[in-house]
Structure 1
């Protein structure tokens, strides 16, 4: 039984990793608050599911650009310095949202400034995530890497459990300005945690003299070549681009659950409940050899849960489907993250981790934009059912075609460091 529980040895054995993990948890909490606050604000301003989907679209491309730039910077400069700069940018972005909500940056009913600040926040978050995630491997031993990845996933889902519900309560009781003010304080705490970390320089010989665009291209070329990593990323893309439901939460909340901000927060929290429980019992995943098969199974279960959400008639069925989706997502994310971290060599860790982050975050943003666009024409149930079904088809195709992912084992060695 104990072997199935979350493996916390990385926290016990590495105080530096523990500091990084705590700062990551606070940053994840701030991110969850921001998602719900922005969705609520834009829905209140427009009442249009296409506009709530646009929030994801506005965030996706800056997040993608920020992640790729951050990955190259993390393979070139001290990763701690890169992370400090990115976290400071996030502080400015969420402070701007607080000032706008207070009426100090234009009219509070104007959506344009909100979308602009969302884009800035997404770009700096992407840059920071690439540096933050590429710092993990130097701080723990190789045999503890899967456990460290699972701990990171747990912080995200635990923040998702508390953050959205608290956001709903704050929005209902105190309004947008106080919610954004709390987010700013959390961003400042995450920045303070990074200040306590030691320098994490790039691998020897990887100085700043190389062309950044060439380095970024090398990272992209690596993840698109045939193999387990391409299959892992492709599986996640099918699940997130085609079966992402978050942009439809305000619409589902209005039409099925009464439209209160508290229930909107509970929808995101339901996903986090499932995700947190799966994270607590992630020991079976991190100790398993067949990480590729586990990832694909988790992604398929996620897609089925989204199809179930399409037909859920009330509060209990909606929350149950979202909890199952959250658990399946955690299983898939932990398996994919462990596979990627085990497979890549240190010299390209920042760039490949950046692509991993871009797919994990920008992918859902684009998926939310797709969901909002389809729902504006066909309605939320059709958008969810169609997306979940197509996602299952795509995952099945990868399972059939990508033997490297299907046969990947935890004990497989990292690729040889053949990239310049």
Structure 2
């Protein structure tokens, strides 16, 4: 991967997505949006239901742990499969598994046999599905649009995703008032429709050449990342920022015990980060990032940490929602820079395995962060746990600026290129 040197230059507007590729891009957006919508609605229902059963902050953290463990165990196998089999079939199959889990939760809620243990086991099934869906779906966009189109296409994709994230929690909170089975039934239908959209994709690069399954091949993503410090720094920075600064696991507790509100307020709190992220995504779709992308990423993570601290100290629903919106806006900048680095800076034959490592660092950090937040909150209190996490995010930002100078010096995203790799998967740098 190479980046343009630091130099002042006008921001070029990426060309429009060619009409010949538009149907595939629309299918991609439909599958991504429907899956995100179902996941967010389900998260509200599961969080509210498990807290209603136990009234313990630790139980909220255990939901995150139940999703994290399957991700950890299967991530490298999933990445290897994505690089050697039909990527869209893998993603659609995972979405169907998620639909089955949602319908089981629906049945258990109707028959009143759902216990905390049963919920944890079903949530673990969602973790298995995400272990395969995430690295597969992360490889789609570079196969659907050109490199010049990528920054704008990524912003459009992020905008639709955030719109789904906004609608999902609010809709989930409202429908939960009609009963948990209603939420889970809608989620199951959403996952099935997402699978149908995914199967209609026409990718320019799809089935990978199948070689022998060796440890070197399975863990090839790690080998590649070790030779690419800018990508490694970007995904590890997000890992620790979300692990320390993620306060979303505490939202049911905040809504109930601190803000003294109900399910609708919980939906608003869950949707607030997506409102900020949607606004920022729409801005970036019209005004792609220009120079000094690396420094912009560090600044956005620092803002994320400050917003987390202010949210933790707030006892006002308005201030809490505002800080979560700022947090979401800052986070989407970091996410888009990291996404460009991973997807454009990785050769296609390695993209599944590198995306799998990225998923382990980023996607699972959400669940592990929930476990960390829930555990710490049970020991020192929820407010103290959230504030401590925000401070930790600021400390990590400073350390990473010093440890990863290549990331700090990253300039323009639209000039990132993937390097050639050797037989072991290491990047071959030009002389």
Quickly name the TM-score band, shorter chain normalised. over 0.9
Shift of 1:225: 4.1
* Deviation digits for residues 30-68 of structure 1 (CA, Å, limit 9, x no counterpart): 111111111011000100000001101111121344443
Query: Once the 2 structures are TM-superposed, how far is the Cα of residue 391 of structure 1 from its aligned partner?
Result: 1.2
Q: 1:212 to 1:34 in 2, by over 3 A?
A: farther
Counterparts of 2:190 and 2:206, CA distance in 1:
28
Structure 2 residue corresponding to 1:183, chosen from 169, 183, 187: 187
Q: How does 1:71-90 map to 2 (within 5 A)?
A: 71-90=79-98
Equivalence for 2:399: 397
1:14-36: per-residue Cα shift (whole Å, max 9, x none)? 32122111111111101111111
Q: Distance in 2 between matches of 1:315 and 1:385?
A: 17
Superposed displacement of residue 142, structure 1? 0.8
Q: Which residue of 2 aligns with 1:9?
A: 16
Provide the aligned length of Structure 1 versus Structure 2.
411
Equivalent residue runs for 1:17-416 within 5 Å: 17-103=25-111, 107-108=113-114, 110-172=115-177, 174-198=178-202, 202=206, 206-211=208-213, 213-225=215-227, 227-283=229-285, 286-409=288-411, 410=413, 411-416=415-420
Q: Distance in 1 between matches of 2:383 and 2:50?
A: 21
Q: Quote the offset at 1:358 in angstroms.
A: 2.5
Take 1:245 and 1:11, find their aligned partners in 2: how far apart are those partners? 40
Gaps of 5+ in 2: 1-9, 426-431
TM-score of the two chains, using structure 1 as the length reference: 0.92
* Compared CA separation, residues 157 and 199, structure 1 to 2 (3 A): closer
User: For the residues of structure 1 that align with 2:364 and 2:144, how far apart are their CA atoms?
Assistant: 27
| Matched residue SS, 2:420 | coil
Q: Return closer, same or farther for 1:212/1:101 CA change in 2, 3 Å cut-off.
A: farther
Aligned to 1:9, what secondary structure does the other structure show?
A: coil
Confirm or deny: 8 A CA contact 1:286 1:335 kept in the other structure: no
Rounded to whole Å, the distance in 2 between the matches of 1:170 and 1:375 is: 28
Q: CA deviation at 1:350?
A: 0.8
The 3 A distance-change label for structure 1 pair 72 and 370 is same
Q: What do residues 159-209 of structure 1 show as CA deviations (whole Å, max 9, x unaligned)?
A: 11111011110112x110011000001011101112222366557xx5233
How large is the Cα RMSD of the aligned pairs?
2.1
| Of 317-326 and 253-262, the range deviating more from structure 2 | 253-262
Q: Which moved more, 1:55-64 or 1:39-48?
A: 55-64
- Distance 1:407-1:334 versus aligned 2 partners, 3 A rule: same
Residue 317 of structure 1 deviates from its aligned partner by 1.1
Residues 361-386 of structure 1 show CA distances to partners (whole Å, capped at 9, x for unaligned) of 21011111101111111111110111
Stretch moving more, 194-203 or 397-406: 194-203
Q: Deviations over 1:218-266 (max 9, x none)?
A: 1122224451011101210121110110111111111222241111111
CA contact (8 A) 1:100 1:107 kept: yes
